[in-house]
Amino acid sequence: MSQTLKQKPTTHGFANAAVKELGWWRAHKFLFLRRVSQVSVFAMFALSPFIATWAGVWLLKGNLSASELFGVVPLSDPLATLQVLMTGHLPELSLILGAVIIALFYAVLGGRVFCSWVCPVNMVTDLASWLRRKMNLPRTSEMPRNLRYYLLALVLLLPVVTGLTVWEWVNPVPVLYRAALFGAGSGLWILAAIFLLDLFISERAWCGHLCPTGALFGLLGKVSPVKVSAVNAKDCDNCMDCFVVCPERQVLKPALKGKQPMITNSDCTQCGRCIDVCAQRVFQFQNRKNQNRIALKAENNQ
């Protein structure tokens, strides 16, 4: 097998082998479930006023920046909360508690699970990526991946200098929610700019290189026990479909060609598309602790 993972010449379309081998559902399962998850989170916010009128209970009140579950459990964006702290103001205890709850939740499931399973902007960037494939646009040069960490530092520095949570004015996640829930379309130019940036200028530019929210969730997910693993790497036939569809393709090669099959790089969004499109069923979700026990047992048996 080529050590450089050169693409094997093929005549079939993208992921056709997976559809033929596994069927349409299994070749699109995680993509479908992600869309259900993203739409369901939005629907819970959108329908909560009607549910409250009918049943007297708020399901989710607020938005992704700060909300309450069943009117009792606080939930808040850790980055938004950090910005408030950096202004020098002590936020309400509920905001801090909500940020801790969300941080612990994504530390367990994998920080960037938020990016692929909850964030509504992911649907915009995925659409741009899909159009790139359909239009057969050439690969463009990529931005430095650590740029998002510099932007994260800038987002946290601006409140210190200005005393304001500046990033929240232009954060595309609440912008999209405000537009969809309240008809506030003044910030939609930001989403349009992200879409055009990803489509014509730099592939996967926003989620993969710029988004400070994704950078923070990536740091939170470093210790997550749930990971994607190339458990059947020996069966890889270099079709490259996983590389085409992966939003963070740099995480794949170490798992396919290295000694450690588990993708431990926190850049992985755990979207599951590499599992979907692989006819050889190379990838699976695994528990890191189980993987470590298996590896240790294999070493002891040698």
d(CA 121, CA 127): 10
**E-assigned strands of 139-206?**
none
Closest CA to 246 of 225, 223, 231, 265: 265
Q: What's the pLDDT at 177?
A: 85
B/e letters for 239-266, b = 16+ CB within 10 Å, e = fewer, are: bbbbbbbbbbbebbebbbbeeebbbbeb
Helix, strand and coil in the chain, % to nearest 5: 60, 5, 30
CB neighbour list of residue 78: distance below 8 Å, 6 or more residues apart: 99, 102, 103, 216, 220
Q: Is the pTM of this model over 0.85?
A: yes
Closest CA to 277 of 101, 84, 14: 14
Q: What's the pLDDT at 239?
A: 92
Round to the nearest angstrom and report the end-to-end CA distance of the chain: 25
Q: What's the pLDDT at 12?
A: 52
Q: What's the pLDDT at 291?
A: 59
CB neighbour list of residue 71: distance below 8 Å, 6 or more residues apart: 57, 58, 61
d(CA 153, CA 147): 10
Closest CA to 84 of 70, 72, 74, 94: 94
Check: CB of residue 270 under 8 Å from CB of residue 226: yes
- Phi, psi (deg, nearest 5) at residue 101: -60, -50
CB neighbour list of residue 50: distance below 8 Å, 6 or more residues apart: none
Token couple for 195: 């879409």
Find the largest Cα–Cα distance for the chain: 65
Cα angle at 239 between 236 and 242, to 5 degrees? 80
Q: What's the pLDDT at 55?
A: 85
d(CA 164, CA 155): 11
Q: What's the pLDDT at 299?
A: 38
Token couple for 171: 């954060």
List the chain pLDDT tens, one digit each, 302 residues: 344 444 444 435 788 999 999 999 999 999 999 999 999 999 999 999 998 888 888 889 988 999 999 989 999 999 999 999 999 988 899 999 999 999 999 999 988 999 999 999 999 999 999 999 899 888 777 788 889 999 999 999 999 999 999 999 999 998 888 887 777 777 789 999 999 999 999 888 999 999 999 999 999 998 899 999 999 999 999 999 999 999 999 999 999 998 889 999 999 999 999 999 999 999 999 987 765 544 444 334 44
DSSP tally for the chain: helices H, then strands E: 16, 5
Q: What's the pLDDT at 196?
A: 95
Cα angle at 154 between 149 and 158, to 5 degrees? 155
Whose tokens are 């004015």? That residue is 169
